[in-house]
Amino acid sequence: MYSSLSDDSAKTPTVTRRQFVQIGALGAGVLLGTPHLWAQQASQPSPPPKPKTNIDDALKVARTKYSLPGPFPGKVVHVQDAQATVDGRIVPSAVERMFARGLQELTGQNSSESFNLLFTKDDVVGIKVNPAGAGIISTRPEVVDVVIAWLLGNGLPKQNIIIWDRFDMMLKDAGYTPERFPGIKIEGLQTMVEKLPEGDNADHSAWLDKDGNHISAGNFDRDVYYWADVDGPKDLPYLNQHVFNGKYSYFGKLVTQKLTKIINIPVFKNTGNGVSMATKNLGYGAICNTNRLHTPLFFDVCTEVLAFPALRDKLVLNIIDGLRGQYEGGPMPAAQFVYDYNSLFLATDPFAADSVGHELMVQKRKEMGIKVNEHPRYTEYLRYAERLGLGVVDPAKVQVRHV
């Protein structure tokens, strides 16, 4: 993604690669397809069997009182306020009211009690946003503002809050900067060069160290990984973006060693016939070397990665930012399919949240005349999560509160 052919005559230093990627209508995003895997699948009459993974390792670890699906399995609160967006601009006071209302409806307790239910004042809380598609469909800073205010208001020290994503430059593109959030740490799990050097004598020292390792390799925990029996491509563009390219997708040390709790704030958008909301934001956002997983394990990753204790036992709250929604063209930003939805969804159970989000997305797609493929393969990962005890997605058990 970040290596490309270019016309030297047109190069200027005035616009960075990340800006270039950010505003590309189709260019922003974390998850690349895998060329060689794509070519294989496209030409085969039937797909290869699903590769093995180390999910059993995750399931062996004893659960804690904070483990998914948290204190409210299957419960999702949908707060909608038509006044949350006026002329395309977010109204912070409306978002604040929506969050407070939704939290109370979720927990049945007031702000302080809700905080104490999910956190202690010693926690280090990571707020996972989805900055891909900045400007069109990304987590709005106004939503993060009210969450931070809630945490601070209940005694969590400012230095114990970290806004994070996998890619540092995407955070900046989406407005997550020290200037916008003074005193709050902002961390990407990895960096990358904005323009991959080209040519026989290209200098890659900006992202490869002298041993040939990505400079962000140290940000990932070699002891905590999602293993899948499928290799990542062995080329520099892939390595630049994915840090590693074997069969191991390491969790970020931020997640495994620094954070004690996680609040997940994804966006409300589709990814093909499925959704890219709560579970994909973490499933593909907390580990490296993900490209290889796309074709053979796409949605399974959203379940299996969240089964690992680094996420399972720390993710305590999901808030889907549906102030805007995107019903087609996802996961990439596609402006023609974006609409003001003026919604927030709150849940401790990310699989229930995605289950509800999926149903609403299907409704919206039908309403907008999009062909909808409702094959169960696009929601099987949710049922898989229920079988693993990570969430509740059975429509007969899911409770949706619309307020």
Residues 338-357 that bind another protein (CB under 8 A): 338
| Site track 26-55 with another protein (rule: CB under 8 A), x = hit | xx-xxxxxxx--xx-xxxxxxx--------
Using an 8 Å Cβ cutoff, are 44 and 346 in contact? no
Query: With CB under 8 A as the contact rule, which of the stretches 68-76, 101-109, 123-131, 375-383 interacts with another protein?
Result: 375-383
Q: Does 5 bind another protein (CB under 8 A)?
A: yes
The site that binds another protein (CB under 8 A) totals a number of residues, namely 92
CB of 152 to another protein, least distance (A): 30
Q: Does 331 bind another protein (CB under 8 A)?
A: yes
**Alpha-carbon span 326 to 339, nearest angstrom:** 6
Cα distances (Å, whole numbers) of residue 356 to 57, 78, 271, 345, 397: 29, 9, 15, 9, 12
DSSP class of residue 52 equals: P
Amino acid at 232: G
Residues 251-290 that bind another protein (CB under 8 A): 271-273
CB of 309 to another protein, least distance (A): 18
By CB atoms closer than 10 A (0-12, 13-18, 19+), residue 82 is exposed
**Alpha-carbon span 306 to 351, nearest angstrom:** 10
Angle at 132 between CA 131 and CA 133, to 5 degrees: 110
Residue 225 bridge partners (DSSP): 250
Residues 10-29 that bind another protein (CB under 8 A): 10-12, 14-15, 19-20, 22-27, 29
**Alpha-carbon span 330 to 29, nearest angstrom:** 10
Using an 8 Å Cβ cutoff, are 315 and 283 in contact? no
CB of 187 to another protein, least distance (A): 22
Q: Does 368 bind another protein (CB under 8 A)?
A: yes
Q: Does 374 bind another protein (CB under 8 A)?
A: yes
The DSSP-derived string for 278-315 is HHHHHHTTSBS--GGGHHHHHHHHHHHGGGSHHHHTTE
User: Contacting another protein (CB under 8 A), which of 106, 124, 208, 306?
Assistant: 208
User: Contacting another protein (CB under 8 A), which of 254, 334, 346, 353?
Assistant: 334
User: Contacting another protein (CB under 8 A), which of 149, 235, 257, 363?
Assistant: 235
Q: Which is nearer to another protein, 65 or 336 (CB)?
A: 336
Local structure of 249: helix, strand or coil: strand
Q: Does 69 sit behind a cis peptide bond, omega within 30 degrees of 0 on the bond before it? A: yes
Q: Does 199 bind another protein (CB under 8 A)?
A: yes
CB of 69 to another protein, least distance (A): 27
CB of 146 to another protein, least distance (A): 23
Q: Does 198 bind another protein (CB under 8 A)?
A: yes
Q: Which is nearer to another protein, 26 or 396 (CB)?
A: 26
Residues 138-197 that bind another protein (CB under 8 A): none
End-to-end distance of the chain based on CA atoms, in angstroms?
41
Q: Does 74 bind another protein (CB under 8 A)?
A: no
CB of 278 to another protein, least distance (A): 18
**Alpha-carbon span 377 to 122, nearest angstrom:** 41
User: Contacting another protein (CB under 8 A), which of 325, 330, 350, 391?
Assistant: 330
Q: Does 87 bind another protein (CB under 8 A)?
A: no
Query: With CB under 8 A as the contact rule, which of the stretches 105-113, 260-268, 328-336, 391-399 interacts with another protein?
Result: 328-336
Residues 288-327 that bind another protein (CB under 8 A): none
E strand map for 161-240: 161-167, 185-190, 220-227
**Alpha-carbon span 217 to 310, nearest angstrom:** 18
User: Contacting another protein (CB under 8 A), which of 121, 158, 222, 401?
Assistant: 222
CB of 295 to another protein, least distance (A): 9
Residue bearing tokens 């990984």: 225
Q: Which is nearer to another protein, 179 or 211 (CB)?
A: 211
User: Contacting another protein (CB under 8 A), which of 86, 149, 335, 403?
Assistant: 335
Angle at 299 between CA 343 and CA 32, to 5 degrees: 90
**Alpha-carbon span 65 to 164, nearest angstrom:** 24
**Alpha-carbon span 170 to 25, nearest angstrom:** 15
Q: Which is nearer to another protein, 202 or 403 (CB)?
A: 202
Q: Which is nearer to another protein, 137 or 144 (CB)?
A: 137
